[in-house]
Amino acid sequence: MQTADVVIIGGGVIGASVAYHLAARGARDVLVLERGAAPGAGSTGRATGGFRAQFGTEVNVRLSLLSREKLLRFEEETGVDPGFRQVGYLFVASREEELRELVNAQTVQRACGFAEAGEVCVEEVARLNPAWNVEGVAGGVYCPADGFIRPTEIMRGYASAAERLGARFLYGVTVEGARAAEGKVGSLLTSAGEVSAGAFVNAAGAWAGEVARALGADVPVTPLRRQVAVTRPTDILPDGMPMTINVGDGFHLRVRDGRVLLLWPDEPRAGADAFDTSVDEGWLQTVVSKTRARVPCLKDVGIDRAACWAGLYEMSPDRHAILGRAEGLEDLYLVNGSSGHGVMHAPALGQLLAEIILDGAAHTLDTHALRPTRFAEGRPNVGPDLL
Ligand SMILES: Cc1cc2nc3c(=O)[nH]c(=O)nc-3n(C[C@H](O)[C@H](O)[C@H](O)COP(=O)(O)OP(=O)(O)OC[C@H]3O[C@@H](n4cnc5c(N)ncnc54)[C@H](O)[C@@H]3O)c2cc1C
């Protein structure tokens, strides 16, 4: 039987961040079990790489601010460039109610000491993104300090730094169950045999609910399929264009590696296979027509169908992370349910979970709002919701 002090289930950006932060704090024997044959098998390899602090709840703003601070010294800390480029995030509203919601979120942001985001008028929207059709636009909000990151580089940076500090990563190992007894996981049953440890971390992303059930716990995380359309190579939009989001329907776009990524969060079709990684033809047609209406200069830029992809968000019921010790299993810790913000919050969540495991509680930030018991208590997070 293999043994470790802490076993982390899932080697995506969050599992890697937890491993690094535990090892950096001196945890001796940290073992990461990842069922993919190589890093990036889950959602991290399918994320587009947006980073923002413009959120509508205090805890999400604070997670972003802590992550931002850590991203700015990431290379120094891990030796890997996280690709953090602060080119801005522009939310555009067509209706007054949408604009009010965006501005309300800024009250929450300012209360956290985050004052870099401001309201912008239609002329400023046109100046910040001249390609955006401002017909019918009421205004927006913009933060120049938001921008982009490289998800797989952040994962690689944390994993390699963790390995240098002694953590072990095993790929191609699936966690299938546990010996759970007397309120503890105790040891895991895996495709590579039994693994016992003093503590276990569920970092299984969109599969966190499934993994929790296999261990005898209940974690309310469900997979939600999200699709990305990719244009053929083009330089029609500048590389430094801010992420631009139409608040009304969630349509947004960014430039990455000489192509434009087009996203629109649709309601998945009834009966659709959440794990299908191809893009639906009907969805693609809708995205193309939204693009023509919102960004007319892209009308002759074709879609590269082979480059399009779908991946999974890891949704929690209130779209906030679930962080802390699991109810009912005292050696199981959760870092789940980031609901599509897991890459940008991975630096903060890894540090905070390491504090919870090693010190009994997080001290860099108050993580009470993320406690796993909030759903059973009937006290989920609420607040202005920015996608
Ligand atoms: C289209 C798209 C765009 C996105 N854009 C952004 C963005 O702009 N910014 C942002 O912050 N986030 C974004 N996200 C969300 C982001 O990808 C996730 O929040 C993040 O990757 C979660 O990291 P993770 O480590 O928890 O999950 P994952 O990367 O999925 O890692 C979990 C790992 O657990 C492994 N695993 C599962 N079950 C088992 C098992 N039984 N045994 C062993 N291993 C197991 C999986 O193989 C997987 O590698 C996007 C997601 C998608 C799909």
Please check whether residues 155 and 299 belong to one and the same domain: no
Could you tell me if the CB of 372 is within 6 A of ligand 1?
no
| Substitution candidate for ligand 1 out of 18, 33, 44 with most atoms within 8 A of CB | 44
Please check whether residues 139 and 35 belong to one and the same domain: no
Please check whether residues 259 and 141 belong to one and the same domain: yes
Asked if residue 188 belongs to a domain, the reply is yes
CA nearest ligand 1 atom 4, residue? 47
What would the two tokens of residue 355 be? 């504090």
User: Domain residues for 15?
Assistant: 2-52+151-221+317-374
Task: Say what the pLDDT of residue 181 is.
Answer: 87
pTM beyond cutoff 0.85: yes
State the SS3 of 6-17: EEEECCCHHHHH
Please check whether residues 188 and 169 belong to one and the same domain: yes
Task: Say what the pLDDT of residue 268 is.
Answer: 76
Rounded distance between C-alpha atoms, residue 61 and residue 365, angstroms: 11
Asked if residue 114 belongs to a domain, the reply is yes
Of 277, 295, 315, at which residue does a domain stop?
Answer: 315
Please check whether residues 46 and 192 belong to one and the same domain: yes
What would the two tokens of residue 228 be? 């990305």
Q: Which of 243, 206, 163, 162 lies closest to 342 in space, CA to CA? A: 206
Residues 6+ apart with CB under 8 A from 69: none
Q: How many helices (H) and strands (E) does the chain have?
A: 9, 18
User: Residue 326 carries which DSSP code?
Assistant: P
- Angle of helix 13-24 relative to helix 342-359, nearest 10 degrees, comes to 40
Cα-Cα-Cα-Cα dihedral sign, residues 54, 58, 62, 63: negative
* CATH number of the domain encompassing residue 268: 3.30.9.10
Rounded distance between C-alpha atoms, residue 289 and residue 279, angstroms: 16
Rounded distance between C-alpha atoms, residue 217 and residue 248, angstroms: 37
Rounded distance between C-alpha atoms, residue 116 and residue 108, angstroms: 13
Could you tell me if the CB of 46 is within 6 A of ligand 1?
yes
* CATH number of the domain encompassing residue 191: 3.50.50.60
Of 315, 336, 366, at which residue does a domain stop?
Answer: 315
CA nearest ligand 1 atom 21, residue? 44
Asked if residue 61 belongs to a domain, the reply is no
Q: Which of 344, 334, 354, 250 lies closest to 26 in space, CA to CA? A: 354
Could you tell me if the CB of 342 is within 6 A of ligand 1?
yes
Asked if residue 71 belongs to a domain, the reply is no
What would the two tokens of residue 225 be? 């399929």
Q: How far apart are the first and last CA of the chain?
A: 45
Amino acid code (one letter) for 105: A
pLDDT tens sequence for the chain (387 residues): 899 999 999 999 999 999 999 999 999 899 999 999 999 999 999 999 999 999 999 999 999 999 999 999 999 999 999 999 999 999 999 999 999 999 999 999 999 999 999 999 999 999 999 999 999 999 999 999 999 999 999 999 999 999 999 999 999 999 999 998 899 999 999 999 999 999 999 999 999 999 999 999 999 999 999 999 999 999 999 999 999 999 999 999 999 999 999 999 998 776 667 678 889 999 999 999 999 999 999 999 999 999 999 999 999 999 999 999 999 999 999 999 999 999 999 999 999 999 999 999 999 999 999 999 999 999 999 876 665
Asked if residue 252 belongs to a domain, the reply is yes
Residues 370 and 324 sit within 8 Å (Cβ to Cβ): yes
Task: Say what the pLDDT of residue 247 is.
Answer: 96
Task: Say what the pLDDT of residue 93 is.
Answer: 97
Residue 34 Cα to ligand 1 midpoint, Å, equals 12
Number of domains in the chain: 2
Of 287, 315, 343, at which residue does a domain stop?
Answer: 315
Q: Which of 53, 68, 69, 71 lies closest to 111 in space, CA to CA? A: 53
Q: Which of 153, 202, 203 lies closest to 47 in space, CA to CA? A: 153
Asked if residue 60 belongs to a domain, the reply is no
Task: Say what the pLDDT of residue 386 is.
Answer: 61
Q: Which atom of ligand 1 is closest in space to residue 310's alpha carbon?
A: 1
Asked if residue 322 belongs to a domain, the reply is yes
Please check whether residues 234 and 278 belong to one and the same domain: yes
Please check whether residues 301 and 187 belong to one and the same domain: no
In the three-class reduction of DSSP (H, G, I as helix; E, B as strand; rest coil), residue 259 is classed as strand
CA nearest ligand 1 atom 2, residue? 47
Could you tell me if the CB of 207 is within 6 A of ligand 1?
yes
284-288 long-range contacts (CB < 8 A, ≥24 apart) are 284/227, 284/229, 284/308, 287/229, 287/251, 287/262, 287/263, 288/229
Task: Say what the pLDDT of residue 276 is.
Answer: 81
Please check whether residues 159 and 215 belong to one and the same domain: yes
Residue 135 Cα to ligand 1 midpoint, Å, equals 37
What would the two tokens of residue 9 be? 């289930």
Please check whether residues 290 and 176 belong to one and the same domain: no
Task: Say what the pLDDT of residue 292 is.
Answer: 97
What would the two tokens of residue 342 be? 């897991």
Asked if residue 331 belongs to a domain, the reply is yes
